[in-house]
Amino acid sequence: MVEHRASAVHLGRGFWTATAALGVLAIISIVFWWLAPDSLFILPSVAAQPGADIDSLLRFMLASGSALFVFVAGYIIYFAIAFRARPTDAPDAIGVQVHDNHVLELWWTILPTAFVVLLSILSVKIWYNIQLAQPANGLVVESLGHQWYFTFRYPQIHGEVTDEMHLPQNQPVVLNVTSADVIHSFWVPAFRLKADMVPGLINTIRFTPTTPGRYPIVCTEFCGTRHGEMSALVPGDDGKANPGAQWLVVDTPENYQKWYRAQQIAHAKDSDALPQASSGTVDLSGGDAKLGQQLFATKCSACHAVGPYSQRIVGPGLKGVLHDSSHPNLVDGDPATPENVAKILQKGFTGDMGTMPNATANSLTDKDIANLVAYLASLK
């Protein structure tokens, strides 16, 4: 049986008119996304570098995505109308069958590939800018997630700042985040940057606040029953501000200095140990090197090799940390004694090589510290 197969048609005036109309619509959609106000993205105005780059990428994707959508949806509608079944068609008529059109196949391979490659280049460039190209001389600040609040630690401020986080305008910041209990996530929508707060792991984000103001901090990882309280975007039960809301305040340099000195004074008598961490000296007697070795494998080996000092992973190799005469001092400058190693394990350390979490963030008990020190002492 022979079907009533339509013979090949040439695309006529109608097609080119439709194409021109879709082209105009596509250009309008591109211009629309390029000029759209931030509020359309349900995001506050960007207040830190490189947040603007992230917004540009978002706008680029929305603009190119909607231009593509205009053509795909437009042609579907155009072809559905132009090539609809007509009353004069035979009941078993089928449309034009196109096979092995190499020119067509070449173009529908080249164009999407080129677009995806362009998108990758732009993304990697911005990612590189966020991760690596920020100034190295930044102000190093830490934030810890707790159930259910954030705390902040600053150089030369004892203890922890527990209410608001302050940062100076136009100064590069290196923010190290981790958690004291479960996984939280640190997000400041106005900065567009987000990092998971994972116990025992330090995640770093780098940025430069550009606009003074108060910006909500939001936990974006479900962390227990009161997770919602870790968001300054969520209202409290009475519809007013959430009582647990915490804000990041970007100050002018003068106001920041005032706040910083006031905090130094207010926290002058605080201990640098975290509230949950044991304070005072760890009792090292009865440390078990075997248990310490197991702990080392799970808690330390991601950053420290059991090798010479020069064998760095993140921190130095720790074989001989207590017996290496060419390195008589620890990274914090104190003499390499079991007590001082215990102190670093307890309080953590931040230096050129990075940040070592403290005992709370690493979930180490005093007994664990004693076992680890016994193990390190046994390495010669």
Q: Residue 230 or 248: which CB sits closer to ligand CUA?
A: 230
> Taking the complex as a whole, how short is the minimal distance between the CB of residue 186 and ligand CUA, in angstroms?
9
Single-letter residue type at 371: N
> Taking the complex as a whole, how short is the minimal distance between the CB of residue 245 and ligand CUA, in angstroms?
13
Q: Residue 145 or 292: which CB sits closer to ligand CUA?
A: 145
> Taking the complex as a whole, how short is the minimal distance between the CB of residue 253 and ligand CUA, in angstroms?
31
Q: Residue 149 or 296: which CB sits closer to ligand CUA?
A: 149
Q: Residue 187 or 375: which CB sits closer to ligand CUA?
A: 187
**Residue 50: is the preceding peptide bond cis (ω within 30°)?**
yes
Q: Residue 221 or 368: which CB sits closer to ligand CUA?
A: 221
Q: Residue 107 or 222: which CB sits closer to ligand CUA?
A: 222
Per-residue tokens: 125: 């460039």
Bridge partners, residue 94, by sequence: 5
> Taking the complex as a whole, how short is the minimal distance between the CB of residue 194 and ligand CUA, in angstroms?
12
> Taking the complex as a whole, how short is the minimal distance between the CB of residue 223 and ligand CUA, in angstroms?
3
> Taking the complex as a whole, how short is the minimal distance between the CB of residue 179 and ligand CUA, in angstroms?
8
> Taking the complex as a whole, how short is the minimal distance between the CB of residue 265 and ligand CUA, in angstroms?
30
> Taking the complex as a whole, how short is the minimal distance between the CB of residue 15 and ligand CUA, in angstroms?
54
Handedness of CA 289, 290, 294, 297 (dihedral sign): positive
> Rounded to whole angstroms, how far apart are CA atoms 99 and 105?
10
Interior CA angle at 125 toward 120 and 128, to 5°?
120
Q: Residue 187 or 215: which CB sits closer to ligand CUA?
A: 187
Positions in the binding site for ligand CUA (CB under 6 A): 145, 148, 184, 219, 221-223, 227, 230
Place of tokens 């109309």: 21
Asked if 278 and 366 touch (Cβ cutoff 8 Å), the reply is yes
Q: Residue 160 or 221: which CB sits closer to ligand CUA?
A: 221
Place of tokens 């996530």: 185
